[in-house]
Chains A and B, each alone.
Chain A
């Protein structure tokens, strides 16, 4: 019965299958004609809901945005190209344009490169699927949730934000943390400010006369756990001895300048002997605060260098003006590297095995196979992934809106955020907002044309 069309060879459907469509024109050359012999009214009924919605909420807005972008803020006067000029003259919008460029260049590239690496590495591993699932999972959650997740990660306080906890951990492994920020002498103490945050003794030191280096201003709870009650140093031969201690008795009762029984030694405090502006000897106070300098220190001034009193390293200001955009791009990569990985993995699975194996048999190492065969053959997939991510990144909004704190939101600004802020805040300027919208649209038009051309080609086939 239906033999004529089975092979798809018939350029036009058999006449008896479309009795009353009226127009035969336009059907020639198609592989799929109207098999069902539809009346046009029926086709219109099927299409109507979609066309109405698309027309009113997608096509009309495009036209209106272009029109509106040439009107002024009030929407009554013609503004010429003023709104477009604002895109390049207004400092906040310029930042947004610049940041968008950074986003479009880096976010898709990093996500694609990571996706490629993950796809290749997991290809031959049994639990590769589990790995892929973990990396792909963030794609399912909202950018709002991802934003909250990364606000937590980038939290400034190292005891709460994991990024800074790691930063501080790494930093303190390589650079010893300073011991006593805010410690300082009292006027009655034999120490005075020595410039640059250091302190020096008021008088030169002599061998045989133990030196007192009392300081106050350290919260007892912040003292090193292994600090011991300070001991008054005893004179010892030619060397200079002394005690550096916290001249403060908890609960009161201590006397200034005297080593009272419960007062703790400033363990680890660095003491330098300075003669004529040169450091001649250095010592470190022990757990009981006692230090010993060689005889060469005789007649010098003792200095407590500023390093002793540095504020502790507090981590990186991830969401500050300079790092906020890279930080948010990091969260985007976290969300979308899985997308790149899945598409690339599918592409990998489609590569001809024989070719790769042949190259290996011919003596190519894994890197050569990857560089010379895998990547070139994946080029079309990589291009699709990059272009998709670029379109996606162009309209990035939620992540920036959520992660950038109010103080650095101007520094993290992107076009979609700027559009929102100019159009829906107080003092809205719908003219400039529309110009931004048109700019975003112009940027995706090449992709639009590419898609249309590709589909048209497929349709001809």
Chain B
């Protein structure tokens, strides 16, 4: 009974009409106008949200003199001001191009290592037997929320002792370690959902532990591994704090290279704006290409 009423109401609503036909014309008009106001509001909010980014993009496309003289919104009346010269100069600037390379050299290994080491441990926690397994897993869960700040001082001393302070290798290790709790948490939960029969069948076919892991578990874990990889990639690519402390100051990643420019903010927007935009291109491309995985990673990581 209730269900039929509901579905009728649903149909009426879907059709764009009022919830019940008994509503007065005035109420219906008010509802229609309310919807219109809401739409306008959302469009305005959307524009408002886009505006800072558009401001950066347009600023990056104007020459230094134009930037100093007027705001980016002037291009709407004088579109001839737009130029790629800032980007040309940026790509000739070896500090910036080298730093982009450094970012890649840090991000790719750090992502790869987290995925591999996290998968190994996640699989062990999901399907292997060893004493204190559940207890160990709870320790990993506890480590999810440990702030990186706690490790800055001790690890810089530790890295200094073993001679990897201010090296790319050190940065990669740091990022891998702090990516692991989330990686293990996510993958263990995902691997645990793999049907037992599948693993047992493979086992009976004579697959060893390594084979089982590479041929069955890893391929089945694809979606979770994709989410994890994207998350870790963005996290490392966008990091500034860890790199600020642990990266080689001769070849810093792009975030640190730009941060050094921010000190003279005001007269170098022609470097900062295109630099910031270049640093955003890869994350944004990843974001738009893998929205679904990104969102599911966000959902899973809501405890981090």
Contacts and interface: CB of A to CB of B under 8 A. Distances in A.
Given A53-B117, A440-B150, A145 B280 contact: yes
A140 B234 contact: yes
Given A38-B129, A53-B177, A395-B147, 11 more contacts: A5-B200, A46-B123, A137-B287, A141-B283, A142-B238, A142-B255, A144-B238, A149-B56, A360-B19, A423-B152, A441-B147
B130 A35 contact: no
Top 8 A-B pairs ranked by shortest CB distance? A34-B129, A142-B238, A57-B177, A140-B287, A61-B154, A50-B121, A61-B151, A46-B124
B127 interface: yes
A46 B280 CA distance: 36
Interface string B18-52: 01100000000000000000110110011001111
A64 B156 CA distance: 12
Contact of B55 (A32, A42, A162): A162
Q: Which of B6, B38, B157 has the most CB of A within 10 A?
A: B6
B240 A137 contact: no
A441 B152 CA distance: 13
Contact of A152 (B133, B143, B158, B269): B269
A21 B128 CA distance: 10
11 contacts: A47-B121, A61-B155, A139-B298, A142-B239, A144-B255, A145-B279, A159-B70, A402-B262, A416-B147, A420-B241, A447-B145
Interface in B102-133: 117-118, 120-121, 123-124, 126-133
Given A57-B178, A140-B287, A162-B71, A361 B19 contact: yes
Interface in A24-51: 26-27, 32-38, 40, 42-44, 46-47, 49-51
A125 B124 CA distance: 45
Contacts of B137: 455, 459
A312 interface: no
B234 A61 contact: no
Interface in A408-461: 415-416, 419-420, 423-424, 430, 433-434, 436-438, 440-441, 444, 447-449, 451-452, 455-456, 459
* Chief secondary structure at chain B's binding surface: helix
Interface in B139-196: 140-158, 173-174, 176-178, 180-181, 184, 192, 196
A143 B234 CA distance: 11
Interface string A107-127: 000000000001001100100
A47 B276 contact: no
B52 A334 contact: yes
Given A152-B56, A354-B3, A49 B295 contact: no
A50 to B, nearest CB: 4
A193 interface: no
Interface residues of A, number: 115
A43 B70 contact: no
A358 interface: yes
B150 A441 contact: yes
A124 B69 CA distance: 44
Interface stretch (B83-91, B201-209, B221-229): B201-209
Q: Which of B55, B140, B152 has the most CB of A within 10 A?
A: B152
A174 B128 CA distance: 72
B204 A59 contact: no
B258 interface: yes
A209 interface: no
